[in-house]
């Protein structure tokens, strides 16, 4: 992608040249040493309650005869399952052995029933955090969206809305076919096995223990996708359509969150850690809505890029400490924003200037 607007091109170059702020990085490193322990007494109840509420409300949305009650149940199901699904981000950063059984439990209860098993994200998201990859063509989770065409943002959302259909095709059709056709299998692994937004990203084939984990998760998602399709013959279309509508709404909310997780202003140059932070977004309190559309610590996305090993339940404390200890003119404060809509408007205005 080439930027033709000279002002935006200059802004992109300026951001990539931002030097590191040693005081901010030192303060963040100090917090990593004290706040990096994941607490299973928080992770397990949060994930289990979110999944239980989500599936219970999903059943209510399917079974309710009253339209208002059905819609209310659907909204509750969407928000609860969205929170449960967001733990996939935590799985990519949890140290091995820190939460015994949590990865397996999450995949069994959430990843496979939503057809987003953790292998789609593990080994991918960590590349987004690599110092030399962030914001470059090798970053699976980055596109210079603020510098692209105006139609790129609506397309970004429409693609998310179609996710349930794509996942059924991926696991219900491509998985079994690819086991019979080796060239197709290589293509499926490289191009259709990552939760990424960079269309140029290609994934390497898994190896060792990760390959074994990949295989059972993919088998589970394949069986679930086939069961979804088969459910039409046993229960009619309503359960499947309600499930897909809730799944689609959940994915759209996540895509909107992704849209405001960064400023998306880098054109491919390697960036310093401070520049990466300033290209990322915190939406801290006092606002309360971000806790719904950016759950499980995702409202502190910029801070997460400074402290990727800090679990979600400690990010609020880390934010408060950094705000209290860093100077008023620290770059840290520049990563804090008030809400989703001003950020969406900012990116939309940027696309109007990029041609």
Per-residue model confidence as pLDDT tens digits over 274-325: 999 999 999 999 989 999 999 999 999 999 999 999 999 999 999 999 999 9
Would you call 178 helix, strand, or coil by DSSP?
helix
Domain-located, residue 264: yes
Distance, in Å, from the CA atom of 280 to the CA atom of 276, rounded to the nearest integer, reads 6
- Segments in the chain forming alpha helices (H): 6-16, 22-35, 40-63, 67-85, 87-91, 102-106, 125-128, 152-161, 163-168, 175-180, 182-191, 208-235, 238-259, 273-278, 290-293, 301-306, 315-325, 340-351
Q: Which domain holds residue 338?
A: 6-353
pTM of the model: 0.92
Domain-located, residue 253: yes
Domain-located, residue 216: yes
C-beta separation of 31 from 310 below 8 A: yes
**DSSP state, 133?**
T
- The more confidently predicted of residues 267 and 305 is 305
pLDDT in tens, 327-336: 999 999 999 9
> How many domains are contained in the chain?
1
Domain-located, residue 231: yes
Domain-located, residue 230: yes
Domain-located, residue 1: no
| The predicted structure's pLDDT at residue 147 | 86
| The predicted structure's pLDDT at residue 4 | 37
Would you call 241 helix, strand, or coil by DSSP?
helix
pLDDT in tens, 195-239: 999 999 999 999 999 999 999 999 999 999 999 999 999 999 999
Distance, in Å, from the CA atom of 55 to the CA atom of 60, rounded to the nearest integer, reads 9
Q: How far is CA 230 from CA 17, 113, 180, 236, 254, in A?
A: 54, 15, 22, 10, 28
* The two structure tokens encoding residue 161: 């809305």
C-beta separation of 315 from 307 below 8 A: yes
| The predicted structure's pLDDT at residue 96 | 82
Distance, in Å, from the CA atom of 201 to the CA atom of 103, rounded to the nearest integer, reads 25
* The two structure tokens encoding residue 192: 């259709």
13 has pLDDT over 70: no
Q: How confident is the model at residue 1 (pLDDT cuts 50, 70, 90)?
A: very low
């Amino acid at each position: 992608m080439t930027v033709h607007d000279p002002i935006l091109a200059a802004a992109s170059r300026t951001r990539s040249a931002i030097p590191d702020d040693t005081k901010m990085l030192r303060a963040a490193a100090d917090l990593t040493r004290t706040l990096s322990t994941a607490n299973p007494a928080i992770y397990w109840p949060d994930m289990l309650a979110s999944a239980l509420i989500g599936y219970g409300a999903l059943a209510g949305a399917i079974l309710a005869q009253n339209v208002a009650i059905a819609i209310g149940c659907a909204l509750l199901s969407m928000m609860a399952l969205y929170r449960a699904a967001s733990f996939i981000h935590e799985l990519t950063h949890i140290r091995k052995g820190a939460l015994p059984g949590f990865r397996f439990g999450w995949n069994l209860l959430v990843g496979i029933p939503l057809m987003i098993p953790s292998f789609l994200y593990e080994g991918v998201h960590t590349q987004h955090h690599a110092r030399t990859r962030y914001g470059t063509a090798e970053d699976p989770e980055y596109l210079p969206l603020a510098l692209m065409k105006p139609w790129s943002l609506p397309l970004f959302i429409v693609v998310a809305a179609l996710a349930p259909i794509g996942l059924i095709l991926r696991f219900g059709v491509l998985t079994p076919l690819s086991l019979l056709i080796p060239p197709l299998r290589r293509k499926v692994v490289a191009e259709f096995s990552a939760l990424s937004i960079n269309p140029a990203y290609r994934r390497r084939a898994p190896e060792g223990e990760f390959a074994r984990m990949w295989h059972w998760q993919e088998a589970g998602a394949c069986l679930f996708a086939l069961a979804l399709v088969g459910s039409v013959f046993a229960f009619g279309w309503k359960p499947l359509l309600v499930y897909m509508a809730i799944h689609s709404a959940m994915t759209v909310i996540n895509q909107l969150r992704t849209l405001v997780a960064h400023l998306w202003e880098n054109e491919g140059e390697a960036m310093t850690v401070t520049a990466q932070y300033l290209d990322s977004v915190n939406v801290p309190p006092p606002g309360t809505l971000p806790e719904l559309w950016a759950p499980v610590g995702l409202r502190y996305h910029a801070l997460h890029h400074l402290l990727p090993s800090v679990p979600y339940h400690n990010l609020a404390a880390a934010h408060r400490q950094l705000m209290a200890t860093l100077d008023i003119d620290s770059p840290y404060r520049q990563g804090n924003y008030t809400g989703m809509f001003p950020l969406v408007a900012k990116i939309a205005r940027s696309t109007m200037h990029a041609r």
